């Protein structure tokens, strides 16, 4: 009889411990649901069908990656617009000034202007070399490298290109040719431009939209501006060897290119503006879809606060009852043992 009672006591103890463990596990799950608002056992809550929630989670992760691209594209385009706006402000003022000063200013005044214009060109090159959020936006697909490198190296290469030309028209023609020579021909695109125009610069900003970051320091829309500024910078470095007549002609050559360059800059900025609009539209669509999917996910897996609180209270009451029962049975066993 003693052996039988011992087995019964062990079985009862085991059942009590199992009940405690079960209730404690349920309490932990309900507490987690209360804190997170999400069901602790999602497969059970969805009846074992995880296909829909899996699709929603996959889509949300994809939209997160699109939004990262949207953010990157927005920063790059905004930075590029700022740079081009500064260049256009310079060009819009300087182009007409050069054309008007030819007939209204004396030789000494024209020569005095050269140094400031060369500094403006240097500043322009520096702005195109600017890194925007760690990327050189005007380098095409080679974003780790500044597109135009060192300004003095550019001027040295320009001097070599123009060497031997004496007339203003010949100087301007050689500078034009140097900037316009396609890659592989030994011109600007090979000796100074350090970006990459052939690699991909596209970013996927939504499931059905990609935008290109393709405007570079070697783009045709910028070339007339660079030509006009280069003519004046060359004149500044070779002022002593350029006669008054040729200097006036160089002012006219540079001014006409800058006026034309302004049109190219407007076209470039308008194109960037369209890309910015596409990015903004993609961001709006992505945000709307993310909101819709998040609501759908919430409806699938979120725990009802009232039901969870009620179940939590019931579980706590069950645990208290079990503890009370365990204590009572323990005292009874001790009494039996002592008697």
Does pLDDT of 3 surpass 50? no
Q: Angle, nearest 10°, between helix axes 151-162 and 220-237? A: 80
Q: Which is more confidently placed, 299 or 12? A: 299
Q: Which is more confidently placed, 104 or 3? A: 104
User: Rounded to two decimals, what is the model's pTM?
Assistant: 0.77
Classified as helix, coil or strand, 144 is coil
Classified as helix, coil or strand, 205 is strand
Query: What would the mean pLDDT of 100-111 be, rounded to a whole number?
Result: 90
Mean pLDDT for all residues in the chain: 84
- Report which secondary-structure segment, H or E, holds 246: helix 244-301
Q: Which of 79-93, 210-224, 309-323 has the highest mean pLDDT?
A: 79-93
pLDDT in tens, 18-64: 656 665 665 566 566 555 655 555 566 666 667 887 888 899 999 99
Does pLDDT of 82 surpass 90? yes
- pLDDT value at position 157? 94
pLDDT in tens, 121-141: 999 999 999 998 889 999 999
What sign does the CA torsion over 159, 164, 169, 174 have? Answer: negative
State the pLDDT confidence band at 280, using cuts at 50, 70 and 90. Answer: very high
Does pLDDT of 335 surpass 60? no
- Is the separation of the CB atoms in 319 and 23 below 8 Å? yes
- pLDDT value at position 319? 67
State the pLDDT confidence band at 334, using cuts at 50, 70 and 90. Answer: very low
- pLDDT value at position 103? 87
- CA atoms of 189 and 293, how far apart (whole Å): 48
pLDDT in tens, 283-292: 999 999 999 9
3-state SS, 37-52, equals CECCCHHHHCCCCCHH
Q: How many CB atoms lie within 10 A of CB 146?
A: 20
- pLDDT value at position 76? 93
pLDDT above 70 as % of the chain: 73
- pLDDT value at position 51? 80
By residue count, the chain amounts to 339
Q: How many CA atoms lie within 13 A of 242 on its CB side?
A: 29
- pLDDT value at position 220? 93
Does pLDDT of 333 surpass 60? no
- pLDDT value at position 297? 77
- Is the separation of the CB atoms in 143 and 271 below 8 Å? no
Does pLDDT of 249 surpass 60? yes
- CA atoms of 261 and 255, how far apart (whole Å): 9
pLDDT in tens, 154-212: 999 999 999 989 899 999 999 999 999 999 999 999 999 999 988 777 889 998 889 98
Least confident of 72-86, 200-214, 242-256: 200-214
- CA atoms of 74 and 135, how far apart (whole Å): 13
- Is the separation of the CB atoms in 33 and 39 below 8 Å? yes
- pLDDT value at position 49? 65
State the pLDDT confidence band at 217, using cuts at 50, 70 and 90. Answer: very high
Beta carbons within 8 Å of 172's beta carbon, 6+ residues apart? 227, 231, 250, 253, 254, 257
- pLDDT value at position 2? 44
């Amino acid at each position: 009889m003693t052996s039988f009672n011992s087995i019964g006591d062990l079985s009862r103890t085991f059942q009590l411990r199992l009940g405690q463990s079960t209730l404690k596990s349920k309490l932990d799950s309900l507490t987690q649901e209360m804190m997170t608002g999400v069901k602790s056992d999602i497969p059970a809550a969805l009846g074992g069908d995880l296909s829909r929630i899996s699709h929603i989670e996959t889509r949300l992760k994809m939209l997160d990656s699109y939004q990262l691209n949207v953010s990157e594209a927005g920063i790059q385009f905004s930075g590029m617009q700022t740079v081009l706006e500064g260049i256009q402000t310079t060009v819009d003022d300087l182009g007409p000034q050069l054309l008007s000063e030819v007939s209204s200013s004396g030789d000494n005044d024209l020569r005095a202007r050269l140094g400031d214009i060369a500094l403006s060109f240097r500043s322009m090159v520096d702005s195109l070399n600017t890194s925007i959020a760690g990327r050189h936006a005007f380098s095409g697909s080679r974003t780790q490298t500044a597109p135009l490198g060192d300004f003095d190296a550019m001027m040295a290469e320009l001097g070599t290109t123009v060497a031997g030309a004496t007339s203003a028209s010949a100087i301007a023609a050689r500078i034009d040719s140097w900037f316009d020579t396609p890659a592989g021909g030994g011109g600007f695109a090979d000796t100074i431009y350090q970006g990459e125009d052939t690699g991909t610069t596209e970013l996927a900003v939504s499931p059905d939209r990609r935008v290109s970051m393709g405007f570079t320091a070697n783009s045709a829309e910028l070339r007339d501006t660079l030509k006009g500024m280069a003519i004046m910078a060359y004149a500044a470095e070779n002022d002593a060897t350029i006669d008054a007549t040729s200097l006036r002609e160089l002012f006219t050559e540079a001014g006409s290119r800058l006026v034309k360059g302004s049109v190219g800059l407007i076209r470039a900025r308008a194109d960037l503006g369209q890309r910015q609009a596409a990015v903004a539209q993609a961001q709006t669509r992505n945000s709307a879809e993310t909101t819709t999917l998040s609501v759908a996910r919430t409806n699938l897996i979120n725990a009802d606060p009232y039901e969870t609180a009620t179940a939590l209270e019931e579980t706590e009451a069950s645990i208290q009852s079990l503890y009370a029962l365990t204590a009572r049975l323990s005292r009874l066993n001790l009494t039996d043992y002592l008697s």
